[in-house]
Structure 1
Amino acid sequence: MSKTLLYGAIKIDETNSAYAPVESLAAFQWKNRVFILFADKDNARAARQENQLLSDRAALDERDIVILKVSAGKVRPLFGAADGLDGEAICHDLDGPEAGEFAAFLLGKDGTVKLKVSEPITSGELFAIIDSMPMRAAETLKPDK
């Protein structure tokens, strides 16, 4: 039986062979959700996305989110710890946008892409998507969270 998930702007089909953990971000698998932001040429949409997400750091921390910004092949952590990442490899693995284009991706703790958007998303929309995931639901039931 095929299981299809619909999170936001892109349909993710788990039976597709492309549904595999992103190798260049394997260090985060099973520890963090990763939101990757690719900056556009004038950086306006990227700046808007960055400001939107960083306005609620407690909610990001509660959901184990790391936010990375990829621009000109370089990776800059915006929230959470991240060292030694290759922006070009991340862009290649995610089939990211052309240089100078905006895009954002959400990877689940399993390392797979859960969301891909070409316009900024509000923090409320992002949190609603994450909170609807089975793994997040299980986390909220744990007494230590």
Structure 2
Amino acid sequence: MSKTLLYGATKIDETNSAYSPAESLAAFQWKNRVFILFADKDNARAARQENQLLADRAGLDERDMVVLKVSGDSVRPLFGAADGLDGEAIRRDLEAPEAGEFAAFLLGKDGTVKLKASEPIANGELFAIIDSMPVRAAESLKPDK
């Protein structure tokens, strides 16, 4: 399983687009964490990832998540509200693989990529990554959360 964890990098190369907010998803910045999955040709891994994520809607809601599925150039919200998104722009901004290849990305509330995975990720692992983020830690200290 190939995963690249960008969260916690000690040296940030600001010329690297992985550390720049995704312009195509700017509407979510500072409001939501966004999990984007890119469907593979037979959709098997994407379907498995989708089923895993949607099995814990409360966990997604608690972490202010929006889940999007990109197939070709179309974008379908799986959890949370999203309108008028361009799949090709998202693919370009995230430097995602070509259409027909599975990939999953987690964007933090700051709009930057925190996780890139080439295989489905378990909810426990995904939530542990999110829960270790400084913004999430600050949220858990608020009395209304």
Q: Same fold (TM over 0.5)?
A: yes
Q: Aligned to 1:40, what secondary structure does the other structure show?
A: coil
Select the residue among 2, 9, 33 that pairs with 2:3.
9
**Alignment length, in residue pairs?**
138
Structure 2 counterpart of 1:71, which letter? S
**1:26 alignment partner in structure 2:** 26
Mapped to 2, the partners of 1:68 and 1:41 lie a distance apart of: 17
Matches within 5 A, 1:48-63: 48-63=48-63
Q: Is this contact kept in 1: 2:106–2:113, CA < 8 A?
A: yes
**2:102 alignment partner in structure 1:** 102
Gaps of 5+ in 2: none
Q: Aligned to 2:78, what secondary structure does the other structure show?
A: strand
TM-score, normalisation: structure 2: 0.92
TM-score, normalisation: structure 1: 0.92
Moved over 4 A (4+): none
CA shift at 1:11, angstroms?
A: 4.1
Gaps of 5+ in 1: 1-7
For residues 40-81 of structure 1, give each alpha carbon's deviation from its aligned partner in whole angstroms, at most 9, with x where no partner exists: 000000000000000000010000000000001100000000
**Identity, % of aligned pairs?**
79
Mapped to 1, the partners of 2:125 and 2:94 lie a distance apart of: 21
